[in-house]
């Protein structure tokens, strides 16, 4: 069939395709006739496969979380299309997650038409066009995106898309936002091409030779060196590089507030995990040289901190956290670099230039191995269920056994059980665990859809709190999963409420009125049938389990259902909040 009308919308979609975007996670509105028509046009021409596939998302949180997880798994940014100001607002905290997770996503929203008397095609003809005409639509996201701009003509829309994606992908990566009014998105154009190869992201940065020497010499000369990292494992290829450095110097690696596998959990130099732990970390206190590698929160000063005279070095893709109002690590040197490149530079420098005290290194290696063996044994001992009660540790141990030897991808949104999940999952394969990297709950529901689209051959497993499950708009997420054939196993750490605000209140007011009366306003009793929501919305297999003896079999059955192509949601009843 002959090519039909070519508009800004066609060029916009072409630009996304040229840039390698496979999916548009969309929640449509009156601002999108141009896009709807352009997609139908290319479909009618038999060219749909050349364009990104539109995934209908009944809630924007699901759309952006899906694009977020897709990019986390694949490195490839995807597009999210939402409706003017209100759809943008409905992105809610998902955009904060993308920003904090340093994940590239292109968000597009229409904007109210700017003509009212028929001056241009697609001018105002519905009452909402007045009501949605707000003073600063782009301002809604400005604190959370790396770039925002308005498409003013189709003639350079491809340039805008490629520039936006170039910015999104350049580290620290993040979301970008384009808006386009209806008239502009309908503008007829001569077809044109743009070369996305001309818009590469900034390449990985290396340490200067001076910084490499200083850090390598300090680490190699330390008696008690320590590496702390949170998100080096965003790039799974960086993990083996870190292992080489840690092994060369027998340096323990502590994972702090980590949502990735930064260092293999079963490695003898793994020094454990910390989230909001309130006890002083002994290794941190004892360290004389600390390398903080890719970390927003390497420790929480109020409760656990290094010795005042420790020599601290920071190497980070985002070294001074310009978008955090308050951040400080008392470092001797702060360097902006790609952690894989930097770690390899440091390793090479030590190998080529430093005469290590082999005896001391081997002693350290043996001590670290003993310590991690003891830690592992202590954790193993905690994996027994209580009397007739499923504990989070027992549940996580069951999940570990369930997934042992598989290539499953785990999404964690376990909240007050983050630490337990990290400790008992002990994930060792780089890239086998992801989290949102942010704090806006409800990421995993849509995230599972995006993750499965990014790696259809892998089993996707979500570990989520019950509150977080509900924040993820399961009525929308589960429906999308069925419609687009992205089954996942969701395991709810179901304590029938929000433990986090209760624990926070208890930390600040341990003997307060709320504590005395156990009056925290965090209970979900009587609880909704959470698996039932998934059953109703997405035809998922749903089951609730409270008997520890039943749990392994229930999980196994649910996994089998997922392997059969249908989502499964298991509510695991833990002690209530």
Contact set with ligand TPP (CB under 6 A): 93, 415-417, 439-441, 465-468, 471, 495, 498-501, 577
Footprint of Mg ion on 486-525 (CB under 5 A) = 495
Query: DSSP 3-state assignment of 227?
Result: strand
The full DSSP string for 542-565 is EEEE--TTTHHHHHHHHHHHHHTT
Pick what 423 binds: ligand TPP, Mg ion, none; C-beta below 5 to 8 Å, kind-dependent: none
Distance in Å, CB of 561 to Mg ion, minimum: 24
Does 196 help bind Mg ion (rule: CB under 5 A)? no
Does 466 help bind Mg ion (rule: CB under 5 A)? yes
What distances in angstroms separate CA 305 from CA 297, 335, 420, 541, one per listed residue? Answer: 11, 21, 21, 46
Pick what 39 binds: ligand TPP, Mg ion, none; C-beta below 5 to 8 Å, kind-dependent: none
Q: Rank residues 153 and 439 by Cβ distance to ligand TPP and give the closer one.
A: 439
Distance in Å, CB of 140 to ligand TPP, minimum: 16
Distance in Å, CB of 27 to ligand TPP, minimum: 18
Q: Rank residues 38 and 574 by Cβ distance to ligand TPP and give the closer one.
A: 574
Distance in Å, CB of 62 to Mg ion, minimum: 20
Does 318 help bind Mg ion (rule: CB under 5 A)? no
Distance in Å, CB of 392 to ligand TPP, minimum: 9
Quote the CA–CA distance of 90 and 80 in Å, as a whole number: 12
Residues contacting 197, CB < 8 A, separation 6+ = none
What distances in angstroms separate CA 94 from CA 120, 153, 237, 288, 431, one per listed residue? Answer: 35, 29, 26, 39, 21
* Contact range with Mg ion by CB under 5 A, out of 104-112, 190-198, 458-466, 562-570: 458-466
User: Does residue 212 contact residue 350 with C-beta atoms inside 8 Å?
Assistant: no
Pick what 441 binds: ligand TPP, Mg ion, none; C-beta below 5 to 8 Å, kind-dependent: ligand TPP
Q: Rank residues 58 and 501 by Cβ distance to ligand TPP and give the closer one.
A: 501
Q: Rank residues 181 and 447 by Cβ distance to ligand TPP and give the closer one.
A: 447
Distance in Å, CB of 238 to ligand TPP, minimum: 28
- 83 Cα distance to chain centroid: 24
Quote the CA–CA distance of 184 and 110 in Å, as a whole number: 10
Does 467 help bind Mg ion (rule: CB under 5 A)? yes
Distance in Å, CB of 470 to ligand TPP, minimum: 8
Pick what 468 binds: Mg ion, ligand TPP, none; C-beta below 5 to 8 Å, kind-dependent: ligand TPP
What distances in angstroms separate CA 90 from CA 77, 174, 201, 378, 512, one per listed residue? Answer: 20, 18, 29, 44, 36
Pick what 281 binds: Mg ion, ligand TPP, none; C-beta below 5 to 8 Å, kind-dependent: none
Q: Residues of 395-422 as b/e, b for ≥16 C-beta within 10 angstroms?
A: bbbbbbebbeeeebbbbbbbbbbbbbbb
Pick what 416 binds: ligand TPP, Mg ion, none; C-beta below 5 to 8 Å, kind-dependent: ligand TPP
* Cα-Cα end-to-end distance for the chain: 62
Quote the CA–CA distance of 379 and 388 in Å, as a whole number: 20
Quote the CA–CA distance of 530 and 465 in Å, as a whole number: 11
Binding residues for Mg ion (CB under 5 A): 465-467, 495
């Amino acid at each position: 069939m002959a090519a039909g009308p070519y508009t800004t919308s066609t060029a916009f979609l072409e630009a996304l395709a040229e840039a390698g975007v496979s999916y548009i996670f969309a929640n449509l509105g009156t601002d999108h006739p141009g896009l709807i028509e352009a997609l139908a046009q290319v479909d009618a021409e038999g060219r749909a496969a050349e364009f990104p596939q539109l995934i209908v998302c009944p809630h924007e949180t699901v759309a952006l979380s899906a694009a977020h997880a897709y990019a986390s798994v694949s490195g490839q940014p995807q597009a999210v299309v939402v409706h003017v100001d209100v759809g943008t607002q409905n992105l809610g905290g998902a955009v904060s997650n993308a920003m904090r997770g340093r994940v590239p996503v292109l968000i597009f929203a229409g904007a109210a038409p700017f003509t009212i008397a028929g001056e241009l095609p697609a001018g105002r003809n519905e009452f909402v066009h007045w009501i949605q005409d707000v003073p600063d639509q782009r301002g809604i996201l400005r604190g959370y995106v790396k770039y925002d701009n308005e498409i003013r003509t189709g003639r350079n829309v491809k340039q805008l898309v490629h520039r936006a994606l170039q910015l999104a992908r350049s580290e620290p990566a993040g979301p970008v936002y384009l808006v386009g009014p209806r008239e502009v998105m309908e503008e007829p154009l001569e077809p044109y091409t743009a070369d996305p190869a001309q818009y590469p992201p900034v390449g990985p940065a290396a340490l200067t030779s001076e910084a490499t020497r200083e850090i390598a010499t300090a680490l190699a000369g330390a008696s008690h060196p320590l590496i702390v990292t949170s998100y080096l494992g965003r790039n799974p290829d960086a993990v083996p590089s870190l292992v080489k450095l840690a092994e060369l110097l027998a340096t323990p690696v502590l994972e702090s507030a980590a949502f990735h596998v930064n260092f293999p959990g079963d490695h003898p130099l793994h020094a454990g995990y910390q989230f909001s732990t309130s006890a002083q970390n002994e290794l941190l206190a004892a360290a004389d040289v600390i390398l903080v590698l890719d970390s927003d929160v390497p420790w929480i000063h109020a409760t656990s901190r290094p010795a005042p005279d420790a020599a601290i070095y920071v190497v980070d893709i985002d070294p001074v956290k310009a978008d955090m109002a308050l951040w400080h690590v008392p470092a001797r040197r702060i360097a902006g670099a790609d952690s894989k490149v930097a770690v390899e530079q440091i390793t090479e420098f030590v190998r080529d230039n430093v005469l290590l005290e082999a005896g001391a290194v081997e002693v350290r290696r043996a001590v670290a191995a003993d310590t991690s063996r003891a830690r592992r044994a202590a954790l193993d001992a905690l994996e027994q269920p209580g009397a007739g009660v499923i504990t989070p540790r027992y549940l996580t141990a069951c999940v570990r056994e369930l997934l042992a030897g598989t290539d499953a991808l785990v999404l964690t949104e376990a909240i007050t059980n983050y630490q337990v999940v990290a400790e008992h999952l002990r994930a060792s394969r780089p890239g086998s665990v992801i989290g949102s990297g942010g704090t806006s709950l409800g990421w995993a529901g849509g995230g599972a859809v995006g993750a499965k689209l990014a790696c259809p051959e892998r089993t996707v497993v979500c570990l989520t709190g019950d509150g977080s499950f509900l924040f993820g708009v399961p009525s929308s997420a589960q429906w999308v999963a069925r419609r687009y054939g992205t089954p996942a196993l969701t395991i709810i750490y179901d304590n029938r409420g929000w433990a986090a605000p209760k624990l926070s209140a208890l930390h600040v007011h341990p003997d307060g009125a709320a504590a005395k009366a156990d009056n925290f306003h965090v209970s979900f009793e009587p609880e909704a049938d959470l698996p039932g929501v998934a059953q109703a919305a997405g035809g998922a297999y749903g089951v609730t389990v409270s008997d520890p003896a039943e749990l392994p079999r229930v999980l196994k059955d649910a996994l089998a259902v997922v392997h059969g192509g249908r989502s499964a949601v298991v509510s695991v009843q833990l002690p209530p909040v």
